[in-house]
Amino acid sequence: MIKEVYKNIYTFQAVLPKSPLKATNIYIIKDRDKNLVLDTGYHTQETLDSMVAGLAELGLKISDTDLFITHMHADHSGLASDFKNAGCKVYASAVDGKIINDAANGSYWKLLYKLLDYFNVTGGEIMLEDHPGYLFQAPDEVDMDIVAPGDVIKTGEYEFEVINLKGHTPGHIGLYEKKHKIFFCGDTILETITPNITFWGFEEGDALGIYINTLLGLRKMDFDHVFSTHRDLVADHVKRIDEIIDHHILRLQEILDAMEEGVEYTIRDLSPRISWRIKADSWDDFPPAQKFFASGETMAHIDHMIKRGQVHMDEREGTLYFKKIRDRYDAQWLENR
């Protein structure tokens, strides 16, 4: 069911089969010349059907709109090639646009498998077919219309500025309408759930620190409407940002508390010691897809503490080992927000 959330701005949910997220909130900015759709949901028939039905409620077809992809995750970009094949422009950032295409041609998944060796998770124990991002990604590479922070996309009476939101993914972007104080934040701020922050390799580095810095920047901005892509719309972005930052501080401390002085740990050892939404007492208790997510999220937190001199890392035969340097996470840099 579609609803108008602001003048000529509509939202409906695209279903995500088999996902605990349940749905992606799709936004449509309606315009006489060319409409703009934000994000797509998975590449599945059910999701495509709900996209077509949602658009039809406004009397639109896929070919009547352009598409703006906030970030590369399959629950946001899965139908990118369907839009492209219908003749739409597909806006994405250079970084995430490339990852979407690298996922379609397979090179992204090879890199992800390499990371599992770092975590002491052998490639054979989790299959790519366990990963929803692999199952439901856009099947073909797409010729994107690359946008960068500061670019402006005009739709109807609105002038949307592309905003840099890197953190949840390395090239996450959003749209900000200054005059109307409207902000489309993608997965950067979500109510009731915390966006997954994962490890992208040492070249990217400290995804969690980058994400928190993005949140600190948004915290200073003045928004009347924050349109997020899962669950409820964000009621009070400052309050929610503070809750998310506090959640990560707790999790960082939890990891240090799980490590004994002078003992070395792998990511495989540490992941089950963290309180996740999905309860797992040991590594083997994790459902397969959660092995990808939990190990990546644990590594992002460890990587952040390595960068801040709180954890020491050694690499032996392709596996990473960690020892804590201090007992308390030093959150001083986050005290004056």
Q: How far is the CB of 192 from Zn ion (least distance, A)?
A: 15
- Which of 39, 64 has the CB closer to Zn ion? 39
Q: How far is the CB of 157 from Zn ion (least distance, A)?
A: 29
Which residues, at least 6 apart from 14, have a Cβ–Cβ distance to it below 8 Å? 23, 24, 26, 40, 41, 42, 47, 50, 51, 54
- Which of 41, 272 has the CB closer to Zn ion? 41
- Is 271:294 a contact under the CB 8 Å cutoff? yes
166: left (phi over 0), alpha (psi -120 to 50) or beta: beta
CA-CA distance, 231 to 208, in Å (whole number)? Answer: 22
Other CB atoms within a 10 A radius of the CB of residue 171 amount to 22
- Which of 64, 187 has the CB closer to Zn ion? 187
Instruction: Report the interface residues with Zn ion, using CB under 5 A.
Output: 73, 187
Q: How far is the CB of 187 from Zn ion (least distance, A)?
A: 4
- Which of 29, 72 has the CB closer to Zn ion? 72
- Is 216:70 a contact under the CB 8 Å cutoff? no
Which residues, at least 6 apart from 293, have a Cβ–Cβ distance to it below 8 Å? 196, 198
- Which of 294, 320 has the CB closer to Zn ion? 294
Closest CA to 37 of 60, 17, 19: 60
Q: How far is the CB of 166 from Zn ion (least distance, A)?
A: 12
Q: How far is the CB of 108 from Zn ion (least distance, A)?
A: 15
